Structure 1
Amino acid sequence: MELRHLRYFVAVADEGHFTRAAKRLGIGQPPLSLQIQQLERELGTLLFQRLPRGVALTEAGRAFADDARRILRDVERASEHARRVASGELGRIRVGMINSAPFHPLIPQVIREFRRRYPNVAFSLEERTTPGLVSAVRGDAVDVAFVRPIHGSSEGLDTETILDEDMVVALPAGHALAGRRQVPLLALSIEPFVLFSRAVGAGLHDEIVAACRHAGFSPRVVQEASQVTSIVNLVASGLGLSILPGSMQHMHTDGVTFRPIARPVPKARLSLIWRHADRDAPQLVRLRELIRELAPAARRARRA
């Protein structure tokens, strides 16, 4: 028995006539009659009582019709479900991010808009360091992640740059440099630094150190931290100053003053990574398309 047998049977049951059912199905009446006869032989019972003008369901036919209609509805629902999953409208996506990512307005906007457009996609968030997220993506613990530059091999991963934002100086409130409109990096040469630990933030750590060396000095690091929020709090305590992604100014932490850096300005790159093998996963494709749609406006807003 095949689905076409059920469709043919239901059409005849609905129309009560082989000719009208054949016209509805777009096939000839003799082939339709033959298919119904084959179905009856397989079931071992008559489904229709043949009348001078049409057909009527037998008792067995009425029982079979209820089940046939239910099966066809279930098949249609299953087909629709598969189509919606394939189009990215259903399913799940597990997103990882570093703890500084949500401070850039683009990231919360992407999350809100994705959940608005695809309310039937289960959306989960997990926060880790960049190395932790690389491992999580490779290990299928998350599907996609917002990360800083990866230190080491990116084999098996696809990477797409989302934005390169200017970095700024984070100064303890009342610091002598806080009154400047812009701060040259060389002015920081004798200052104590609080920086990202290279073990968890090699990309930003190396960018900052390289920028300082280009300005003519090596930063005097007195404390390292693994989370950008911890760094801001350590700056607020007066332990030292730091260089951070510009979006961290949205923290509005008491005891910290942010100032732009005079050119050349070091950049903080934020990228999206995912498993190369899953590059065509529907939900992932939808997320990447949304980021590409929203990112240009976010960049213009930051420059304005």
Structure 2
Amino acid sequence: MELRQLRYFLAVAETLNFTRAAERLGMAQPPLSQQIRKLEASLGTPLFHRDRRSVTLTEAGEQFRSDVQRVLADLEAARGQALATAAGTGGRLSVGFAGSAVFHPGVAQLMRTYRHRYPGVQIDPVESNTPTLAASINNAELDCALVRLPFDLDHGRYRYEVLVEEDMRLVLPPGHALADRDDIALSELSNDALILFPRSLGPKLYDSILLKCQAAGVTPRLAQQSPQISSSINMVAAGFGVAIVPESIASVHAPGVSYHRLTGRPLVSGIALVCRAEEARPAVANLMAACKAIRGAL
């Protein structure tokens, strides 16, 4: 059984006339009749009643017509989906999100823009920490991810587009003596315990915070660790200490906490869209392009 035979059969089934079906197909009538006979032979049953005056479908032919219509429709849909995937306008895309990155409005804008441009692409989101996301990309378990910077991205293994950069902010607990100040120097916090996330979640960011403290002449007294950057806000609210977080985390509201600028040279973090260096899927390239365009507009 061949695909062309199915198309031939459907033309005859719809016209119930071999001559008109041949004209529709742009072929001579005798080869069409021959192919229909071969199809019937391969199925082991007649599909048409033929006489001098008319052609009608057998009961098996009626059932076969229904099934062939469905099969050909599915094949056409599969063809369209394959073409859409090849063009980056269809298929699936697995995208990772670092937990602290989702709070920045630029991330929502990026995904909203991409979904508007490519509604046929199914997004499979995964949330985790930056090192885990980078490993998943390297292992081809994820197509791409929005990760928190600074982070070592080996250019031999990864490509990336920076979406945003943002200053870090100091978070103070309720009733802190400096809570009424907009700008605070780290040197003024020598008596406060510092809440940090585990270093394994973001070694470069963790180290940059400690280096910033040391540059200010402060040896931070490390308090209990928070499981994620964002969860440190609730720990500050509970009185465990102070925290230094990306500016977008200020959207997390906890009773009594306050957010403040740090004086001196800014401590900066960023968010980047990362994929494998050899990634060739058009859907990923389209998301990268959207990231680059949005960065220029933010």
Q: Which amino acid aligns with 1:267?
A: V
Instruction: Find the residue that maps to 2:136 and give its secondary structure.
Output: helix
Identical amino acids, percent of aligned pairs:
37
Maintained 8 Å contact 1:192/1:219: no
- Letter paired with 2:104: H
Q: Could you say which residue in structure 2 is the equivalent of 1:56? A: 55
Q: Distance in 2 between matches of 1:47 and 1:237?
A: 78
Residue 253 of structure 1 is matched in structure 2 by: 254
Q: CA deviation at 1:287?
A: 4.4
Distance 1:28 1:236 in 2: 83
Asked if structure 1 preserves the Cα contact closer than 8 Å seen for 2:160 and 2:273, the reply is yes
Hey, what does 1:168 align to over in structure 2?
A: 169
Closer, same or farther in 2 for the Cα pair 1:249/1:74, shift >3 Å?
closer
Deviations along 1:8-57, one digit per CA (max 9) or x if unpaired, are 2221232233443233223444544454454455556665566667x513
* Kept in 1: contact 2:169–2:260 (CA 8 A): yes
Counterpart residue identity of residue 256, structure 2 = G
Q: Could you tell me which residue of structure 1 aligns to residue 202 of structure 2?
A: 201
TM-superposed deviation, 1:6: 1.4
CA distance in 1, matches of 2:199, 2:57: 79
Structure 1 residues 139 and 31, CA gap change in structure 2 (3 angstroms): same
Higher mean C-alpha deviation, range 222-231 or range 78-87 = 78-87
Match of 1:11 in 2: 11
Q: Measured at CA, do residues 78 and 166 of structure 1 come closer, stay the same or move farther in structure 2, by a change above 3 Å?
A: same
Question: Whole-Å Cα distance in 2 between the matches of residues 42 and 141 of structure 1?
Answer: 44
**Number of residues paired by the alignment?**
294
Tell me, in whole angstroms, the C-alpha distance in 2 between the residues paired with 1:220 and 1:44.
Answer: 84
Contact residue 186 and residue 218 of structure 2 kept, 8 A: no
Deviates more, 1:115-124 or 1:161-170: 115-124
Report 1:76-115 matches (<5 A).
76-86=76-86, 91-111=91-111
The 1:28–1:267 alpha-carbon spacing in structure 2 relative to 1, beyond 3 Å, is farther
- CA distance change for structure 1 residues 75 and 265 in 2, over 3 Å: closer, same or farther? same
Query: In structure 2, do the counterparts of structure 1 residues 200 and 62 end up closer, same or farther at CA, with 3 Å as the change threshold?
Result: closer
Residues 141-191 of structure 1 show CA distances to partners (whole Å, capped at 9, x for unaligned) of 544332223347576443332211111122234434433332345555665
Unpaired runs of at least 5, structure 1:
300-304
Quote the Cα distance in structure 2 between the aligned partners of 1:198 and 1:239: 18
How far did residue 7 of structure 1 move? Answer: 0.7
Structure-1 separation of matches of 2:153 and 2:88? 32
Cα displacement (A) at 1:75: 2.5
Q: Is the 8 A contact 2:187 2:218 kept in 1?
A: no
Q: Is the 8 A contact 2:106 2:164 kept in 1?
A: no
Q: TM-score, structure 1 length as denominator?
A: 0.75
Residues 81-111 of structure 1, C-alpha deviations (whole Å, 9 max, x = no match) = 4445555666544443332222212334445
Q: Counterpart of 2:196 in 1: which secondary structure?
A: strand
Query: Residue in 2 aligned with 1:146?
Result: 146
Aligned mates of 2:121, 2:80 — CA distance in 1? 14
Alignment match, 1:302: none
CA distance in 1: counterparts of 2:17 and 2:157, whole angstroms: 60
Between the aligned partners of 1:122 and 1:44, the Cα distance in structure 2 is 46
Bigger mean CA deviation after superposition, 241-250 or 192-201: 192-201
Q: Check 1:17–1:158 CA distance in 2 against 1; reply closer, same or farther (3 A cut).
A: same
Counterpart residue type for residue 107 of structure 1 = V
Q: Which has the higher helix share?
A: 1
Aligned 8 A contact 1:196 1:204 in 2: no
How far did residue 4 of structure 1 move? 0.8
Question: 2:44, 2:229 → 1: CA distance?
Answer: 74
SS at match of 1:207: helix
Give the secondary-structure state (helix, strand or coil) at the position aligned to 2:265: coil
Q: Deviations over 1:195-247 (max 9, x none)?
A: 3332322121233234445x553542322434223422333344443321001
Secondary structure of 2:232's aligned partner? helix
Alignment match, 1:231: 232
CA distance in 2, matches of 1:107, 1:26: 54
3-state SS in 2 of match to 1:242: strand
